[in-house]
Chain A
Amino acid sequence: MENLIALLVAAPLLGAVVLLCGGRRLDAVGHWIGTALAACSFVIGVVLFVDMLGKDAEHRALMQHLFSWIPVEGFQADVAFQLDQLSMTFVLLISGVGSLIHVYSIGYMEHDERRRRFFGYLNLFLAAMLMLVLADNYLLLYVGWEGVGLASYLLIGFWQHKPSAATAAKKAFLVNRVGDMGLSIAIMLMFTTFGTFAFGPVLEATGETSEGKLTAIALMLLLAACGKSAQVPLQSWLGDAMEGPTPVSALIHAATMVTAGVYLIVRSGEIFNAAPDAQLVVTVVGAVTLLFGAIVGCAKDDIKKALAGSTMSQIGYMILAAGLGPIGYVFAIMHLVTHGFFKAGLFLGAGSVMHGMNDEVDMRKYGGLRTYMPVTFVTFGLGYLAIIGFPGLSGFFSKDKIIEAAFAKGGTEGWILGGVALLGAAITAYYMTRVMLMTFFGEKRWQPDENGNEPHPHESPRSMTIPMIVLAFGSVFAGGIFAIGDRFLHWLEPVTEHAHGHPPVSALTVTLATMVVLVIGAGTAYVQYGRRPMPVVAPRGSLLTRAARRDLLQDDFNHVVLVRGGEHLTRSLVYVDHTLVDGVVNGTAASMGGLSGRLRKLQNGYARSYAVSMFGGVAILIAATLLMRAV
């Protein structure tokens, strides 16, 4: 069975190679090849899953050692895979949602002449992402980690002729690189501390080193997670990443890649458990991002950017849960999976709306679309109910558990974190209701563009609606299936450990409080957006709204401090290199020339002046000789 693991990665990788090197010949069938290989990965995943279910809970992990990767004195890096319950969860999510989005893209990218290449990139992404979650050591994980970064770069910038897309792609890669630096340093720290960076040996040996070392490793891992999962302070790339085609936003920037940071933290649980200071930082980062993303999501008029803010905020929940330690790991992953379903569904719905609206993204120019796109409306609506945590739907179960766990952290911290999580739930209900109302309800607000083309909203083709329907099913039922009877908990427990927290308030109280804030949030949105007509041009808004529209000024900060500062630095360094470093050398040459020019003047051609210098020289010599004698 374990020999199948490599095939999980190999199938989409093969797809990427064939599609990217195959040339125009494959244009006609490229999307089918890509989709088939993604589905192939999913089928293998299901086979392995069924096999795994048949085994004892403690003996489910499979290992596959392929070959020795970098054998150097004292340094052993292998290409080896590990498939345990945690990886399995991700494999099914990635290949499952991935396959659905492949299907969706067949319709969505139908009119794009570079569709074959798009599928090549998608396959490349799947291969890298699967490698990330299957690796049995941090260095191989790093390969997947940067591989998904590359795929994300290529896909965000897929429409490279748009300068904004190219810039967004570059920005995403660069911000991620800052995070990757953290991962590099963490691996180096592990190497010098443990002499290895394979999961097994490192995580077993955490007891043998100091807490300070572990805190350093944990913080570096957190930096990496911040980059990949768009957490404050490295969150700025995610909004811009919406320049990519919508299926990409759904797959990479909502369901899978951006959750890699959560995977990393949960996978390294033993390290974090032994470093409480680092855990505290993790929870703070999660809590801050949770609010940050939610606030940004409230102000955006671009449907995808509003959803991006929401993604950021939901991952904030997961990071927060992961920072809580054993009481939160399982719920972080559970929320991650349910979020994968409903957020992917929401994005696909947004894509479907854009598909029918001539790629318009401004929600102020939508309105009343529910009658034009019934399937999209229903699936999007179910996703909406799931994300705000409507009782009985997926989000309800997973988010509720996280809020509970946050309170269970105990002490003042517990109250603060729990309060923030509750507040986040209220804002989530608010901005999602806003998106829903602006898009599907109210009057139609679209107008012909300057060329006189008026959008004709219509339902999307079958290839697009079927994945949306499947995901909507997931949004509705996944949470219940996981949570009832603690199935998910028992499934993951052998890998991630689980501790039952002791919340200061009863679970029922938390649930009720969540319901209350939900109603408040959704109600406020209804009062603001549902009952009065929506202006097509955004009003000026309060100071906070304006700041939130600009991503709470973080981009402005980056621009002024990093971009401008960097430009000045490089420009002055170019100047320094030219004038100073090069100048010293050229200056030496020039002063040599100048000196010899001066000395040349002594050679004036007058015999008598030569005679004077001769006499002078002789006189000095004699004087020197006499002096030496005297001494």
Chain B
Amino acid sequence: MSFPLLTATAALPALGAIATAAVPAARRTMAKWLALIVSLATLVLAAIVLVRFDPAGDRYQLTESRAWIADFGVRYELGVDGIAVALIALTALLIPFVILAGWHDADPLETGNTRWRPTQGFFALILAVEAMVIISFEATDVFLFYIFFEAMLIPMYFLIGGFGDRAHEHGEETASTQRSYAAVKFLLYNLVGGLIMLAAVIGLYVVAGNFSLTEIAEARANGSLDMATNTERWLFLGFFFAFAVKAPLWPLHTWLPNAMGEATTPVAVLITAVVDKVGTFAMLRFCLQLFPEASKWATPVILVLALISIIYGALLAVGQRDIKRLVAYASISHFGFIILGIFAMTSQGQSGATLYMVNHGISTAALMLVAGFLISRRGSRLIADYGGVQKVAPVLAGTFLIGGLATLSLPGLAPFVSEFLVLVGTYARYPVVGIIATFGIVLAALYVLVLYQRTMTGPVKPEVAEMPDLRVRELVVVTPLIVLLIFLGVYPKPLTDIVNPAVKQTMSDVQKKDPQPEVEAAK
């Protein structure tokens, strides 16, 4: 058997997490460097996965399969398709930046206490999340996926509840209350989703007799596994609910603004750019593949919910007074686009949705991390506390603007490609939905530009007059993300080449064909 590359990619950050946690209290800096090196090594492994993956090859590649819980037919099965490869690459890429951006976020307030090791814990938890996210992308066994899908909540809970912004406008005590509220809310929402999914997972086992995604999908495709229509629908809803909470889809979204608002910015990036992607990814991989008929049955409702997410998220973003919550609502709007693309069931829509996951990860990371640098300078998350920053910190303002422009999908930057594909793909099948979704691009311009205007332009507020511009560490974080945004906006071909075959497979799973252009259909 060849070298288990996929296992290694997930195991490396897991081991790194344990090692980081074990670093003695006094050696904080060592823990940071260890975490950074581990995350970079994981990036190297992910790059190897990317290179070894052959877009023209089998659907699932680099597969691994071992017996695990034989009595229940649970196997340790891993394999990646183009979509998973792209998302693993995204995850591995973002984590080093998250770690670097949060370099000082978990420094202990007083250094006297030798038993208290928040720094080690912070970075270990981030690596643990990375490991679980990566293995969720790799798992082709439903039960295996479920375990890590749920287990992810544990480190996330501690990351949200345990670490917050250093300075807080209402004092540390209120901050701590709000943090634990946000963390509990996050946990409860996702647990409820997870429990419903567990019921559906068990139901799937009862119907299918095993947990292997490939086997069940194959049996469904060749007709040897027949599901009653209602059974399929209930199982679909069970899975979808969990993913819709994670994604998050309106009206299950309210945990996200709280969690993103209260967590430190690197953790907020982790939530929206990485962890939430598991939800949308799982819709593509599990919902569409296992329950193609039910997916089509639920499409109208899901499209409407996605549409509401797009418009509603954007409108709420306009109304926010808190920078981080604004980005959170913007993300809700973007997740609406992703889900719209997935369920439009056209090649353009699904390719667009997959690209969207990657591009949204990068663009939100860029915007949010710069916002974090801004917030750490002034110690406030309120938009009204800023003004005229571009005068004193032009580089910070410039990178913030580029992050914002990416968020509003300016052509030439990566998110435009994906957003346009989603819109075209949706329009091709559902013209009205496509047109309504297009309003999202105007609203996106509104919330981004209002945010930029209020924080960066105008007369310089006395509180920000002494604000330093971006430091070297911060530039190291932001520059590669911006370069990547531009590169993928101008030349997304490397990404589309990987994603296209996988999308083609998914389209054949749901047995849908792209609508023909009118002129060709007439011929």
Chain A interface (Cβ < 8 Å from any Cβ of B): 20, 67-75, 79, 139, 142-143, 145-147, 150, 153, 157, 160-163, 165-167, 169-170, 173-174, 177-178, 180-181, 184-185, 187-189, 191-196, 205, 208-209, 213, 566, 569-571, 573-574, 577, 581-582, 584-585, 589
Contacts and interface: CB of A to CB of B under 8 A. Distances in A.
A80 B254 CA distance: 44
Contacts of B456: 160
Contact of A181 (B319, B398, B442): B442
Nearest to A585: B254
A580 to B, nearest CB: 9
B435 interface: yes
Contact of A163 (B391, B412, B421, B458): B458
A74 B514 contact: yes
A581 B351 CA distance: 32
A184 B457 contact: no
Given A73-B503, A209-B518, A173 B449 contact: yes
Contacts of B517: 191-196
Given A68-B493, A191-B428, 17 more contacts: A67-B493, A70-B417, A71-B496, A72-B348, A73-B507, A143-B412, A145-B411, A150-B405, A161-B458, A169-B453, A170-B452, A174-B449, A194-B517, A195-B519, A195-B520, A208-B519, A581-B254
B36 interface: no
A146 B347 contact: no
Nearest to A163: B458
A467 B427 CA distance: 48
A192 B517 CA distance: 5
Contacts of A68: 493
Nearest to B417: A70
Contacts of A589: 188
21 contacts: A67-B491, A69-B491, A71-B493, A72-B348, A72-B421, A72-B496, A72-B503, A73-B351, A143-B412, A143-B416, A145-B411, A147-B411, A160-B390, A161-B459, A162-B458, A163-B459, A195-B517, A208-B522, A570-B315, A570-B316, A570-B318
A205 B253 CA distance: 45
Interface hub of B398, B417, B459, B517 (most chain A Cβ within 10 A): B517
A120 B236 CA distance: 53
Nearest to A149: B410
B459 A193 contact: no
A173 B390 CA distance: 19
Contacts of B457: 157, 160-161, 163, 165-166
Given A70-B421, A178-B442, A574 B320 contact: yes
A180 B347 contact: no
A142 B438 CA distance: 15
Contacts of A577: 254, 312, 316
Interface string B350-370: 011000000000000000000
Contacts of A181: 438-439, 441-442
Contacts of B312: 573, 577
Contacts of A74: 347-348, 514
Interface in B417-461: 417, 420-421, 423-424, 427-428, 431, 434-435, 438-439, 441-442, 445-446, 449-450, 452-453, 456-460
Nearest to B459: A161
Interface of B: 188-189, 250-251, 253-254, 312, 315-316, 318-320, 347-348, 351-352, 388, 390-391, 398, 405, 410-412, 416-417, 420-421, 423-424, 427-428, 431, 434-435, 438-439, 441-442, 445-446, 449-450, 452-453, 456-460, 490-493, 496-497, 500, 503-504, 507, 514-520, 522
A146 B434 contact: no
Contacts of B490: 69, 79
A622 to B, nearest CB: 35
Contacts of A193: 517-519
A222 to B, nearest CB: 16
Nearest to A208: B519
A626 B99 CA distance: 70
Contacts of B410: 146, 150
A188 B450 contact: no
A431 B352 CA distance: 51
Contacts of B411: 142-143, 145-147
Contact of A581 (B251, B347, B388): B251
Contacts of B417: 70
Nearest to B492: A70
B194 to A, nearest CB: 16
Contacts of B496: 70-72
Nearest to B440: A181
Contacts of B352: 72
Contact of B319 (A139, A192, A209, A573): A573
Interface hub of A79, A147, A585, A589 (most chain B Cβ within 10 A): A585
Nearest to B390: A160
B315 A573 contact: yes
A211 to B, nearest CB: 13
A351 to B, nearest CB: 23
Contacts of A191: 424, 427-428, 517
B195 to A, nearest CB: 15
Nearest to A191: B424
A142 B428 CA distance: 19
B438 A184 contact: yes
A20 B410 CA distance: 18
The 10 closest A-B pairs by CB, nearest first: A195-B517, A570-B319, A73-B347, A166-B457, A160-B457, A143-B411, A188-B427, A574-B319, A582-B254, A177-B445
Nearest to B253: A581
B177 to A, nearest CB: 15
Nearest to A574: B319
Contacts of B514: 73-74
Nearest to A72: B351
A177 B490 CA distance: 21
Nearest to A584: B251
Given A70-B492, A73-B347, A170-B450, A184 B423 contact: yes
A584 B250 CA distance: 13
Contacts of A139: 420
A78 B441 CA distance: 23
